[in-house]
Every structure is written in structure tokens, then in C-alpha cells.
Structure 1
Amino acid sequence: MGRLKPDVGNKLKRAELAFKDKANKKKEKKQRQIERRKEAEALGSEAPPKQVPKSLDTMREYDETVVQPDDEEVMGEDAIDEFAEHFTGAESKTLITTGHYTSPEIMQLVDELVDLMPNAEYRKRGTADLKPIIEGASERGYTMMMVVTSKAKKATGLWVVKLPAGPTAHFRMTSVRLRKQIRNHGRPTSHRPELVLNNFGTRLGHRIGRLFGSLFPHDPQFHGRRVVTLHNQRDFVFLRHHRYMFSETGQRAYLQELGPRLTLRLRSLQLGTFDTTHGLYEWHHTPDMDTSRRRFFL
């Protein structure tokens, strides 16, 4: 609501005037946009460049590690890195487990993650340490491993490990919404989904994108109309899972959300497989990194 008029005694009247004032300003702004659009059309190629609204994204600090499409050094590294085998045709196979203690909500999230990724399986952890689980999973042909961690019976973290030799990424998990909590949700089919990775632009982001890409096959079944989106915005990675839907006439398309819905934020990327004591870190978030709201890493 617009700003209340201090010189009007009646509170309801002040609110009414503020509402009208806000509506008039919105109308004037819309009219200015229409006029600018007409001027641009009249000037054609001589029209001034379109103004870009100022935001944290458009004003982000310069990062020299941003990957260019034709960067030969990055393409050379991609050809020999830990994910190269997957991107040249190897099939993904993911083991999902949890912390020592779980809850019905955690198990429901695990079930939906199994539905999300083809060739994903859940195995109960029990009291076992992660190191022997990782070794056993590698011996059984798993290419990826995910560990959902929790606190107070709520999912708070996600570890993603590339088998057999790493790297290992640790994410903080927030804003989890299960399928039953999403209005008008659908149920996923067994079709292999299309994967969409958005805005992983830096060297670190490129590497995290390849880690996520290794969880999904490279031959999506488009007729299944499933799409999994991992969208990075200001270092928050939003995971969404949808199905394309079409009207009876086929002239209109829309999306039906399948779940789960969650947000991830990278805390660390470690060389090798899970070792919080002696592991070497490629990147680790520390409080001194939060010196500017316009500084992003992915």
C-alpha cells in the first residue's frame, strides 16, 4: 500500500487515498513504458539501448573465472576430469542414503529423490560410517552417491559424491516442499527426464553443473515430457521438477509440478570422497566471503 497521508485525520480515508495514489503511479509508469516503446519503434535501429533495471544480479562484482563458450582450456579440462566418462556415454547409477537418524518426512523426501533420478536406489544406512558405504557402492557399480542429512527431523543438508574418486560437494538444504505439499501436483512417470542447468557461469559453477549433470542420463525421453531444472540465482540453486502439459486442442502448453521442491546452497567442494578431517578442499565457504551482497561464486 502507498504511503499514508499524514494530513488526513480519518485512518480509513488515509488508506483509501494512499491506495489511489499507488494506483495512479502504477498507471503513469505503464503509460511511460508505452510511450518509450512507441518512440523506440519509430526510431528503429537508432533507438537508444533498453534500460536495464539495477539489481544484485546486474550489479554483481566482476569475476575473472566466468567461463566463455569457446574457452579451450575449460574444454580440455572437461575431457579428462572426473565427470568425463559420464559425459561420453557412461550410464549413471545413484545410491541414496541418509544420516543415522531419519523421520517419515526425510524418508518421503528420499522416495521423491529416487523418483526424480533414473537409476537411483535407496539403501538404509543404519549405524555404518560413510567411508565403507562409499567403497562398497563403488564396488557395486554406483557412479554417484547422495546423503540427505537432517536436524530435528528436518532435512538440512545434502552431500553429493562422485564415485569412485570424488569430488564431494556439500550443500545446505532449505525450503523443502514434498509432493503432497504442492498444490495440483502430479506424479512422475518412469521416463528419463530432460535436465536444464541455468546460470552456472563461473569455473566453480561449471564444475558444480557437471556434478549435477552426472546424476542424470544424457538420453532423455522427450515424449515423457518430464523436465528437471536446477537454476542458480545469487548462489542459491533452486531445484524444480515439472511435466509439460497440453490443452485438449494442443494450442496451449503449461507446466504441472511433480516435486520435490527445494533450495541448495554450496558449502564446500572437496577433492576425493567424503573426508571432513583430512580432505583437501577445492572451495570452502567461510564467513569472510560474505563481505558484499554483490559477490557470487557460482
Structure 2
Amino acid sequence: MGELEAEKHVQYILSVEKRKDDFESLLMEHLRINGAYWGLTTLDLLRKIEAVDSDEVVSWVMSCQDQDCGGFGGNVGHDAHLHYTLSAVQILLLFDRLDILDIDKVSDYVAGLQNEDGSFSGDIWGEVDTRFSYCAICCLSLLHRLDKINAEKAVDYIVSCKNLDGGFGSIPGGESHSGQIFCCVGALAITGSLHHVDRDLLGWWLCERQCKDGGLNGRPEKLADVCYSWWVLSSLTMIDRVHWIDREKLAAFILNCQDRENGGISDRPDNAVDVFHTYFGVAGLSLLEYPGLKPIDPAYALPVDVVNRIFFGK
């Protein structure tokens, strides 16, 4: 299956930030803080995060904060959103720099987006989605502020999005999708509520996502895509059903999506690489315990040593 081109992936990630005027950078302009989280977490999993100037990164992250509401935008001067706020917190935690954050201001912003039915809006414009439930719960847990929301109602809302196939959708009645399943299972894991999941039924649906080429897809009849190496595999890990898929075929699929000359990982073999798929490919390999990679936490999507430092001071 070949080996992980770790050093080339490091150089690729470092080069992306320097090329601010190319097509990929322009496409990511509105979610640069997500891209920074993907790239920096990849570097940490590859044990190379010291290759970046942490002070410079932290300073830029803080410049993306909306001083009025406390949340973070996807780039400097952009509107605050739960997804960007979570990425900002995750980046600060990678560098152990939560000390510069007004934690109560940020957590008040996140908690203020919970609705009466327990769901969360992504921002002040009111879109509701279980992705935002995950972002809020994960963010508040990392900040040790889960008590600021009605966690019971939040869990009830997520459970209301469960389907007859064992999966979860974006809203009640929404189609089961691997990305939404990660968000719902991750939020339930963080809140200690995994008893609401039918592990065998959901595990069967998730293992059915493995295609003939070894990769995983997001829902039935779709092509495999490297990013689902994370969404599906992390969910299977949290419900203890990873052994239901062919791990070696999945690892081979991810490795076949590498650009072995210039670094980076694409969605499927021979396509253009990007930071998003590079992160999810490396994160998937980490869950598969690929040699040399740091282990990653399947619920918090951060290296295990970072999560241990947050919760156990280790």
C-alpha cells in the first residue's frame, strides 16, 4: 500500500499558508480559521507542530474574535459562528494558550445560541443543525463550561434526530449522513449519553459505508471520499465497532490518495489535494493506529495528549 509521505505533507501544509493568492486560498478565505485548525492538527498528529510560529498563529486567531459577542469569525472581520468559534478554541488548545481567552465571554456566546427545544443555531441568523449542537457541546466541554447550557435538552434534541436505520440527520426527519452521525455521536459521547445509540444498528449502517475500493462514503450509493475516513471511523470507534470494517483496505485507500511528489491528500486517488482532506486522511490513519502518528481523540478531534492535558492536567 506504500507509506505515509509524512514530511511532504508537512511541507505542503506549511506552503498553503504562504500562498495567499492561489485558488485554494481564495476558496478558503471565508473559513480560514477552520483551515488553520485542519492544518495545525495535522502537523501535531505528524509530530511537527513546532514548525510553525505559535505566537504568530495565536495572535492571528485572536484577531478573528468579535469583541462584542465573544465568538470567532472564519477570518479577520468576519461574522462570528459556532463552527469557527470551536476551531479557534481547538487551535488555542493545541498550543496550550487558553490563558489569553476570556473563557466566560466565549462560553456565554456559545450558550446564548441554544434554542428553547435544546437545539443550537449556528449564529445570530438562526440556522439549526445537529452540527451546531456538536460544535457547542464540544466547545463548552473543552472550556469546562458545559453547565452553561441545558445539556439534558440538548441531548433530547439530538435523540429526536435519530432515524429508524440507527443513524442521525441534521434535523428531526433529516436523512442519515455520516457527517451528521459523527456530530450526534460525538456530542452524545461528550455528554455521557451514548446509551441513546443503538450500537449494533448504527454500527451496521456505518460499516456498510465501506466501498469496494476500501474507502468509506457518506451515505448509500455515493463514491468513497477520504474525509469519511474520519466521520465514519470516529463514530465506529466511539461505539466500539471499528472491527466491523476492513481496516487494511481503508488505510490503503487513504494512502493511495496522497500526492507523493508534492504532499497533501485528496478526496480520492488522482484528484487535487487540499488541507481538508489532508487532515481527515491523516486523522483517519491515526484512528487506525498507523505507525508514527499521534493518537487522536474520536470525540474531540484533537490529539489524545492535548485532551489529556485539558481534562487531567497530564
More helix by share: 2
Q: Give TM class, smaller chain.
A: under 0.3
Larger radius of gyration: 1
Q: What TM-score do the two structures reach when normalised by structure 2?
A: 0.23
